[in-house]
Chain A
Amino acid sequence: MSTIFGIPSNALFSQLLVGLINGSFYAMLSLGLSIIFGLLNVINFAHGAMYMAGAFVAWILLNEAGIGYWWSLLLAPLVVGLFGAAFERLLLARLYKIDHLYSLLLTFGLALIIQGSFRQVYGSSGLPYAIPAALSGGQKLPFMFLPNYRAWVVVASLSVCVATWLLIEKTKLGAYLRAATENPALVEAFGVNVSLLRTMTYAFGVGLAGLAGVLAAPIYSVSPSMGADTVIVVFAIVVIGGMGSILGSIVTGFGLGLIEGMTKVFYPQAASTAVFVIMALVLIMKPAGLFGRAS
């Protein structure tokens, strides 16, 4: 068996794949956090709960209504996004004029309520969600076995990230978003409804988290704590990439997933701390983040 740096090559490649998979979720989650922070100035602590809720909506659709994976990919983000829109409109929007700490506390409280509710109803042990039939099995590559579903997750996440980037950088709606991120009062003075833009942005951001949750359901078990575990790493990634930077979130999300995977191969003890060590280094050398604009 061939080895690279003394590590069996298939072990290396399978950890790389695990890293890429984690990176896919990191990227989608940090992307949503980042656009929400950019326009609303809200650090959305409920993001992990929205990701978890996405997975649960998919599970409930399947087990209560017989609606399968493909429809869930569409419906779960929609449900999570609509919930997010209502939450933003009814509660979050009231806090923009006071200290940002209050919106942070509100979203933190919401996360606890969502998690607690799911734990109450579904228990804290994970629920299984089967890989859709069309994506079961895998490919035997010369150097490793590649499960089809995992390849799909990477492709789907990359496509969603690129589509989001195009939406923000190349469309009129994206131009409103970028402009309102810089100077909301002036965009409002041009006749644009910035409050509506904020609601849409929050809904879109948490909808992305919901979509990530559906993609994650067949890989990790569907459990109330799945979001809380992931979101801590995602916050570190947003800090590394630069608060509010779209491209930064995507690149850092995938990059850090891979670095984390590599650490598991070469120095497993540090796997769960590597991201935070990098965050500390970045904060020392480039406080605005790798892609952030210094303010």
Chain B
Amino acid sequence: MTDAPAASPQPLLSVQALEGWYGESHVLHGMTFDVASGEVVSLLGRNGAGKTTTLRAIIGVLGKRRGSVTCAGVETIGMPARSIARLGVGYVPEERGIFAGLSVQENLTLPPKLRPGGMDLEQIYRLFPNLKERARSPGTKLSGGEQQMLAIARILRTGSKLILLDEPTEGLAPVIVERIAEVIQRLKADGYTIILVEQNLRFAQSIAGRFVVVEQGRVVDAISNESGCRLHQLHAYLGV
């Protein structure tokens, strides 16, 4: 695993002057940041700052976007979402996106394998034993925590090494949040690159290597998790 700084010559993901619209409203006003391979970067900011929209713009499910998003050196701004996914980008949406009409196992195996090196079902079930027990029940009959695990687990099968993770702890009990933190630590150790949108600062601090602070659709600061004193500024940014 590389310990490359954000400004390495070839970042895995490079977002430059990204503009994005959510329906009629202009939400992203020139987002710019890089993510190096193997890094866990957390996008922080108040509600409505444009964090979720940034993830949606990266994966390409946003109606209208402009600027530049290069993934592994490939410019994706003109691509449909399916082609971006095939570059090895896995998306775990905020609302989790578990399908009610599909069983847990069908949900798990729905995303096609895009690249070699994904986990097989057995490895996934070892990581998330609950899912194995509930394999046949409808996806949305799972608890919120289990649905979140399922939303993460199904991406691990695809071989995607860049994961966009939108508020994985939202509305979950502390014990489940700890479990999800363990899983993300594990993925980090395995060399996955993760962009994490989070409101829960403590959770973000326990796993992210770097924080990108978003305000009104722009990056206003980037703070390394090692830079002790500056971490206090995060509280100010979040208004807590």
A residues bordering B, Cβ < 8 Å? 172, 175-176, 178-179, 181-183, 185-194
Contact = CB atoms under 8 A, between A and B. Distances in A.
Contact of A179 (B82, B85, B93, B102): B102
B150 to A, nearest CB: 13
Given A185-B61, A186-B61, A192 B101 contact: no
Contacts of B86: 191
Given A178-B102, A189-B84, A191-B114, 12 more contacts: A175-B102, A178-B99, A178-B101, A179-B99, A185-B61, A186-B61, A186-B91, A187-B110, A190-B111, A191-B85, A191-B111, A192-B82
B59 interface: yes
B5 interface: no
Q: How large is the interface on B (under 10, 10 to 19, 20 to 34, 35 or more residues)?
A: 20 to 34
A186 B82 contact: no
Contacts of B78: none
Given A190-B158, A191-B86, A179 B110 contact: yes
A189 B81 contact: yes
B117 interface: no
A270 to B, nearest CB: 37
A173 to B, nearest CB: 11
A243 to B, nearest CB: 14
A188 B99 contact: no
A130 to B, nearest CB: 43
B170 interface: no
Contact residues of B: prevailing secondary structure: loop
Contacts of B129: none
Given A186-B93, A188-B80, A181 B158 contact: no
Given A189-B60, A191-B86, A182 B100 contact: yes
A49 to B, nearest CB: 30
B77 to A, nearest CB: 16
A194 B100 contact: no
**Majority SS at the chain A contact face:** helix
Contact of B99 (A172, A183, A185): A183
Given A185-B61, A185-B81, A190 B110 contact: yes
A248 to B, nearest CB: 13
A225 to B, nearest CB: 37
Given A191-B82, A191-B112, A192-B82, A175 B100 contact: no
In the complex, the 7 A-B pairs of residues with the closest C-beta atoms, listed nearest first: A191-B85, A190-B111, A178-B101, A186-B97, A188-B81, A189-B81, A179-B99
Nearest to B99: A179
Nearest to B87: A191
A172 B105 CA distance: 11
Contacts of B114: 191
Contacts of B82: 188-194
Given A189-B59, A189-B91, A192-B82, A183 B111 contact: no
Contacts of B61: 185-186, 188-189
A171 to B, nearest CB: 10
**Residue among A185, A187, A188, A191 with the most chain B CB within 10 A?**
A191
A251 to B, nearest CB: 18
